[in-house]
Amino acid sequence: MIVRNAQLALPNADSPVGGDLRIKDGLIREIGTALSGSDEAIDAEGLLVMPGAIDPHVHFFDPGYNHKEDFYHGTAASASGGVTTVIDMPDTSDPAAIDAASIRAKRDHVAARAVIDFGFFGGISGLLCDDRLEQRIAEMSTEVCGIKTYATSGAEHFPRVSHYQYWRILELTRKHNCIVLVHAEDFDYVNGATPDARAGGDGGMQFYRSRPEIAETLSVFSVSEIAEQLGAQMHIVHLGTARAAEIVAGRRFSSGETCPQYLEFDCNDFERIGAALKITPPVKGPQNKAALWRMLAEGAIDFVASDHAPGTVEEKSTGSIWTDYAGIPGGPILFPYVFSEGYLAGRFGLKRLLQICSQAAAERYRIADRKGSIAVGKDADLVFVDPDGTTLIRGADSLSKGKVTPYEGRTLRGRVIRTMLRGNTVYHADQGILSEPGSGAFVRPNLDDSQ
């Protein structure tokens, strides 16, 4: 196959380069102009062709909680937004992915459903810091892109990791060349603030006050300091607080991500919109948004992720913000939002866009030998974008099972026309999903690419 007449987004180029791509056996084999041959051709005239986006933070609830989402609907929705690789979290499936056996079982279950490539994170909770801790970490380190933890409890079955437990975990992940991911909210602050916040009312502002900026900042400082002391690799997920992001940027061994929801919304929006915007950590004060955009543009925040975790209409409509489900369906919005509000809005150029949406996550999670850029020898994972088109966000139209979105009715600039996985068109804007379930492949980290 030859992709002809494209505007190619090549690594380290801040302007598109006109040219063609030759694809064979799922790989990019040649990049040039007016490539010869009688291969099947796709005419990309007028389209920007970029590496497929990587979403390194999704919750597809599979197996176990498929009323919220499953791997088919989750990967299909991601593909419609230009994503070609996702990395799924360990704690929102049943059983949780906490050792080699559970990871194999989960992989075998979801592989038949995925339409794009997928990797996993393993998980360690406070309950698992026992005499099998090293065994769990050692056997997971070859299979997963990192190990997820919670500084405050993620759920009853996945309790928090204490400071001393972080020390033990990080000693072992350093030994086994693995990265620890942290949901960073300070347990003591959240545990103490929540009763007072609940007594103050039932709106979004009160939920925000139960876990405000200082809860994130205290946790980020503590856990990243432990990583610094040990020289162990750490990644802070879903940063929404500017001060916390500044701390991460100043660390040698830690990296960080943010999400579109923290760039777009604040606690005033939460009070107005309600449960459709309920997430944890919650969106923060409005002063954070401009700072987060600036740090993302400058590279102080490494990349973006969706934290895709939809709830049903019923779960998002319990009548109280304290019992409404926390999570939104962000996967199909991730790349279109950053393309529109970051790149087309002039907040950063094409080179930084590629890093934010593809390259930096591929490098951090050690899959850059195959993913994350348009280069000879890499997987032909591509997204074809019409920069003059528009994208209207309507929950009812999403391919995800999640229909409740805080972006309802929002129009973004730019439109994903085609998403290609290893040379095969997975999604087309006029035809929908074109790949069969099971066409996605499991992605392991390249252990030769040491941190």
pLDDT tens-place string over residues 105-156: 999 999 999 999 999 999 999 999 999 999 999 999 999 999 999 999 866 6
Measured CA to CA, the distance from residue 275 to residue 278 in angstroms comes to 5
Kindly provide the b/e burial profile for residues 261-279, where b requires at least 16 CB atoms within 10 angstroms of the residue's own CB.
bbbbbbbebbbebbbbbbb
Under DSSP, the state recorded for 449 is: S
The answer to whether residue 17 is domain-embedded is no
Kindly provide the b/e burial profile for residues 341-379, where b requires at least 16 CB atoms within 10 angstroms of the residue's own CB.
bbbeeebbebbbbbbbbbbbbbbbbbbbebbbbbeeebb
Integer-rounded Cα radius of gyration of the chain: 21
The answer to whether residue 388 is domain-embedded is no
The answer to whether residue 161 is domain-embedded is yes
The number of domains in the chain is: 1
Work out the end-to-end distance of the chain between its first and last CA atoms, rounded to an integer number of angstroms: 35
Q: What is the CATH number of the domain that holds 86?
A: 3.20.20.140
The answer to whether residue 163 is domain-embedded is yes
What pLDDT, in 10s, does the model give residues 240-251?
999 999 999 999
Under DSSP, the state recorded for 313 is: T
pLDDT score of 451 more than 60: no
Sign for the CA dihedral angle at 363, 367, 371, 374 comes to: positive
The answer to whether residue 99 is domain-embedded is yes
Kindly provide the b/e burial profile for residues 420-432, where b requires at least 16 CB atoms within 10 angstroms of the residue's own CB.
bbbbebbbbeeee
The answer to whether residue 302 is domain-embedded is yes
- Predicted confidence at residue 361, as pLDDT, reads 98
Angle at 362 between CA 175 and CA 437, to 5 degrees: 110
The answer to whether residue 122 is domain-embedded is yes
DSSP 230-245: HT--EEE-S---HHHH
Residue for token digits 């056997």? 139
Measured CA to CA, the distance from residue 108 to residue 297 in angstroms comes to 38
pLDDT bucket at 219, cuts 50 / 70 / 90: very high
What pLDDT, in 10s, does the model give residues 17-46?
999 999 999 999 999 999 988 778 999 999
Under DSSP, the state recorded for 340 is: I
Q: Is 323 exposed, middle or buried (0-12, 13-18, 19+ CB in 10 A)?
A: exposed
Strands 382-392 and 411-421: antiparallel
The answer to whether residue 26 is domain-embedded is no
- What is the domain range of residue 95? 52-367
